[in-house]
Amino acid sequence: MNRLDGKVAIVTGGAQGQGEAISRQFVAEGARVVIADIAKEAGQALADDLGATAHFADHDVSDSASWARVVEDANERFGAVNVLANNAGILRFGDIERQPAEEVELIWRINQLGCFLGMQAVTRTMRKNGGGSIINASSVEGLAGMAGCTAYAATKWAIRGMTKCAAMELGPKGIRVNSIHPGMIDTPMTRVHGGDAAMEFGASRVPLRRVGHPADIAPLYVFLASNESSYINGAEISIDGGVTATHAFGG
């Protein structure tokens, strides 16, 4: 407990799935948290449940003006932001021959552009106030390929690369930037692509013979947000039950 005392965090996509687990764990460990999401009802309900140290912000990660508002509000409400969990993202499968350009662009805007804009938005605050930690959600598809996943994987490889560049650029300013690479996690985002059958298939491909859950992911965010990870910068950490110990998940 209290591993995040004094931390002010923004969690994007914070209303559901992995984001909800991260938000809950951050508050439990003493952080003040802005739950930033487009899911208004779920986000507000979560903030109400978590109490005075949580606040919901209606936020579009692909909009730089929205980022400016969220960071300014967080600074005024809770104090200087020193943790960003760039967790928001969408998953769309599609064959190269058939996936519409509009869908490819949507994936890029939310996953990759949203991550970049988040880093950009918090850097000034963190630099002026002694540093901070940025945690970017990539994927095992940011480490290896998977058929039917080209557009999504492109954004996750980009996040991996942006993280390393940002770690070099921002490290001297006291800002650590790391990426995490979850495998198949049982969330509403993944369940929409096949439900229980998809989860069962996924489990059959994982060395631990189970898919992950949001509760498996949140502790890694806590660690990277805390001072315990003060010498970890530019790292890529897989949390996938062992999938990337060998070849691609969809191999």
Between the CA of residue 159 and those of 119, 193, 202, 208, what are the distances in Å? Answer: 11, 23, 24, 26
Model confidence pLDDT, tens digit, residues 70-129 = 999 999 999 999 999 999 999 898 999 999 999 999 999 999 999 999 999 999 999 999
The pLDDT assigned to 148 comes to 87
pTM for the model stands at: 0.93
List of domains in the chain? 8-187+214-239 (3.40.50.720)
User: Residue 231 catalytic?
Assistant: no
Q: Which residues of the chain have pLDDT under 70?
A: 188-194, 196, 199, 202-204, 247-251
**Structure tokens belonging to residue 61:** 């990660």
Residue from 152, 157, 221, 249 carrying the catalytic annotation: 152
The pLDDT assigned to 193 comes to 60
The pLDDT assigned to 56 comes to 98
